[in-house]
Amino acid sequence: MINVAIDGPAGAGKSTVARAAAKKLGYIYVDTGALYRAVGVNALRNKIETTDAEKVGASLADITVELKFVQGVQHVFLNGDDVSEEIRLPEASMAASNVSAIPAVRAFLFDLQRDIAAKNDCIMDGRDIGTVVLPDAQVKIFLTADDEERAMRRYKELKEKGSEVTFKEVLDDLRIRDYNDSHREIAPLKPAEDSVMINTTGMTLEESINAVIKAVKEKIA
């Protein structure tokens, strides 16, 4: 199977770019952030403090998280409920970042990610795909952009959905998540040694997609 790992900070455009590149290459696209978001949503629903490692860890015994691909589109299920929309709420982002620092959560989601990659040609995106989940991926990409540009992209997305957030709130949130994601003890966000670095600051979406496809083609040619 061909496995492409794409890691990078929040808002770098990983999901949009990876989804489009996967479509062009005929691979499935796996968004692993959705899994951490589902665990975060479960904590929010049950009023469990998302930074409480013990309680969040204990909650894992009662939940199932699954990914299903409906016509190539990923849906995430929490205890059998399709939570693909709910996981995109802003509170789910911070909850996901918090629960993702808990080792039991990462262990809980590990096999699921490995199994999908073992059975499918895929582009998998996340924070630790090239470093931890798929260290043998044929292609590893670290996709990033300046934080103000990432925040602006996220801000526009949220505004389009009718959200009342301010740009500053989005930027502050993103900086906190960047800090959390790259400073946690377990599987912190960092480029794999053998990754191709792509900085999309100032690039159009089309240019970013082409840069990813080019990197994949160069590695697997």
Interface contacts to ligand DC, rule CB under 6 A:
10, 32-33, 36-37, 93, 96-97, 100, 126-129, 177, 181
Least distance to ligand DC from the beta carbon of 132, Å?
A: 8
Query: For the chain, give me the number of helices (H) and strands (E)?
Result: 8, 8
Least distance to ligand DC from the beta carbon of 203, Å?
A: 19
Is residue 19 within 8 Å of residue 122, measured between CB atoms?
Answer: no
The beta strand positions in the chain, using DSSP E, are 3-7, 28-31, 65-70, 73-78, 81-82, 122-126, 139-144, 196-199
Toward ligand DC, which CB reaches closer, 25 or 93? 93
| Element (DSSP H or E) covering residue 40 | helix 33-45
Toward ligand DC, which CB reaches closer, 34 or 211? 34
Least distance to ligand DC from the beta carbon of 221, Å?
A: 27
Least distance to ligand DC from the beta carbon of 61, Å?
A: 21
Least distance to ligand DC from the beta carbon of 188, Å?
A: 9
Least distance to ligand DC from the beta carbon of 105, Å?
A: 9
Sign of CA dihedral 118, 121, 125, 127: positive
Kindly list the strands in the beta sheet with 28-31, ordered across the sheet, starting from the edge strand earlier in the chain.
28-31, 122-126, 3-7, 139-144, 196-199
Toward ligand DC, which CB reaches closer, 129 or 137? 129
Hey, is 85 helix, strand or coil? coil
**What are the beta bridge partners of residue 129?**
none
Toward ligand DC, which CB reaches closer, 25 or 35? 35
Across the chain, which distance is largest between two alpha carbons, in Å?
Answer: 50
Toward ligand DC, which CB reaches closer, 26 or 124? 124
Toward ligand DC, which CB reaches closer, 96 or 212? 96
How far is 17 from 178, CA to CA, in rounded Å? Answer: 19
